[in-house]
A and B are shown apart, each in its own frame.
Chain A
Amino acid sequence: MNIAFAEIQETIRMVQMESLDIRTVTMGISLKDCIDPDFEKMNERVYNKITTYAGELRSVAEQVEKEYGIPIINKRISITPVAELLGHATKDEAVELAKTLDRAAQFLGVDFIGGFSALVHKGITKGDQTLLDALPEALSVTERVCASVSVATTRTGINMDAVQLMGKIIKESSERTKDANGIACAKLVVFCNPVEDNPFMAGAFHGTGEGEAVINVGVSGPGVVLNALKRHKDADFGEISEVIKKTVFKITRAGEMIGRVVADRLNLPFGIMDLSLAPTNALNDSVAEILEEMGLERVGTHGTIAALALMNDAVKKGGAMASSYVGGLSGAFIPVSEDNGMIKGIEDNSLSLSKLEAMTCVCSVGLDMIALTGDVSPATLSGLISDEMAIGMINKKTTAVRVIPVPGKQEGDMVEFGGLLGRAPVMGVNPFSSEKFIQRGGRIPAPLQSLIN
């Protein structure tokens, strides 16, 4: 046997004890050929195309999972940003299309369908406006549909009109699902510099530069990295980086292989491999605990950003060596509700909203799955979004905001979202108003790419 006993045991240990998993196999499908001025025809074409293309997705993924003994947690679909289909549609038709997507996802047994999206970082088209108007209703009457809106990029600046709108949309989505803790907002992301091939939700969409259909894979394993670090108690930072790189390399290799097998069996091209340390509420499957393992008493204390920066970079380095096509958002996610360590950090008053904001400067995405008090105003939400967009724009990175104002809840309350979405302590926002700032409207110009200080 040319594989050592110890190596086999290492793989088994990673899967069974340290929660190594393929977080998602996401099939990207272009819907451009479904566009039709007659809404009924388009609606039918969209349903037929998705259910035909992804008909085998779930069964193939489950078969591969069984053969290789590596769990594939979610099967997902990402589609062409729906705003591009809505040029001639009305708001009600847009909601109808969202229901169609939900029905397709349900029929196929996939967990989420992403791409109820609009790219409005420079301006808003008719189709974009229709989608934005429909968003709160669409998200509250569907279960598996995920939406994202790009409101800023480094090359175009920040569309503050869109930022203002998003504050209102988030607030309304929350109100419409107040019986379920504002859950609609958990399916809505506001982006700066979004990527076109991201397999993770809620921000996945099948970008305009993508092909007809593609398989993208997202792998996760904070638990594996955490346990690797636990075996190196006294390592210095160079060694820590090395341990993370090696561990991530192995995880990525496993993910890429599984992705290629799935793509091959579905007769589709393999797109990218997204290695993101995405936490879950499972024991030890936490990004915050990795930071604490490096020597921080509690996540959020001084040193947190340095630790996160080191980890995020090491993850990218290991992943880049292991896969031919790294893409998506690769790095580390810090969704609060899905990470027991982050939750504890907030409960112990170590981690604050401002610190989380600062952490997004060095992690792979942004303010993610944060529950806010129910009385937060749309303008304050817009202000929060504009800050996060500015961080992404200036640092030339993807940033995102996925916050959930929870109707009727006060700071310190705990809310349950259920499933992979977890639970979160409600956080308070700055009590001073951003109203006048947000009302100005217009665009914040694109930043200078030179004279960088």
Chain B
Amino acid sequence: MKQKRAVVSVVGKDQVGIIAKVTTALADNHMNVLDISQTILQDFFTMMMLVDVSEAKDLDKLHHDFDEVSKELGLKINIQLEDIFQTMHRI
């Protein structure tokens, strides 16, 4: 089956449980994580995840789940389909 991929980006103050909570939200919404890269920049936790969203049915619910996590941990979480980055940065 064809994959539809999206990039999840997470930025915020480093603390315990960020990856756990974000990936739980993803798992609850049937999204498979394909790749993770993560780094700490001046105390700031930044993470990019490539996820497979072809099974995802309800984007609103995912946004809602992310909102809860970001409120709880004080993070900024975005999810955007991968094509937008391909189009903007690759010819």
Chain A contacts to B: CB under 8 angstroms: 1, 3-5, 7-12, 16, 63, 66-70, 250, 253-254, 256-258
Contacts and interface: CB of A to CB of B under 8 A. Distances in A.
Given A8-B9, A8-B48, A1 B81 contact: no
B89 A7 contact: yes
B89 A5 contact: no
Contact of B83 (A7, A12, A66, A257): A257
Contact of B63 (A3, A66, A256): A66
27 contacts: A1-B35, A1-B37, A3-B85, A3-B86, A3-B90, A7-B88, A7-B89, A8-B7, A8-B48, A8-B85, A9-B9, A9-B46, A11-B80, A11-B88, A67-B6, A67-B59, A67-B81, A68-B81, A68-B83, A70-B84, A250-B88, A250-B89, A253-B88, A254-B87, A254-B88, A256-B87, A258-B84
Contact of A11 (B37, B63, B79, B84): B84
Interface string B15-39: 0000000000000000000010101
Contacts of A67: 6, 59, 80-81
Contacts of A258: 84
Given A1-B37, A5-B48, A8-B7, A69 B79 contact: yes
B67 to A, nearest CB: 13
Contacts of A68: 80-81, 83-84
Interface size band for B: 20 to 34
B75 interface: no
Contact of B80 (A1, A69, A256): A69
Interface string B44-74: 0010101000000001100100000000000
B81 A5 contact: no
A8 B48 CA distance: 8
A258 B85 CA distance: 12
Contacts of B82: 3
Nearest to B86: A3
Contacts of B35: 1
Contact of B85 (A7, A16, A63, A256): A7
Contacts of B81: 67-69
Nearest to B63: A66
A225 to B, nearest CB: 15
Nearest to A7: B89
Nearest to B53: A67
Contacts of B63: 66
Contacts of B7: 3, 8
Given A3-B89, A11-B89, A67-B81, 12 more contacts: A1-B50, A3-B82, A3-B85, A3-B86, A3-B90, A8-B85, A9-B46, A66-B63, A68-B83, A69-B81, A70-B80, A254-B88
Contact of B87 (A16, A69, A257): A257
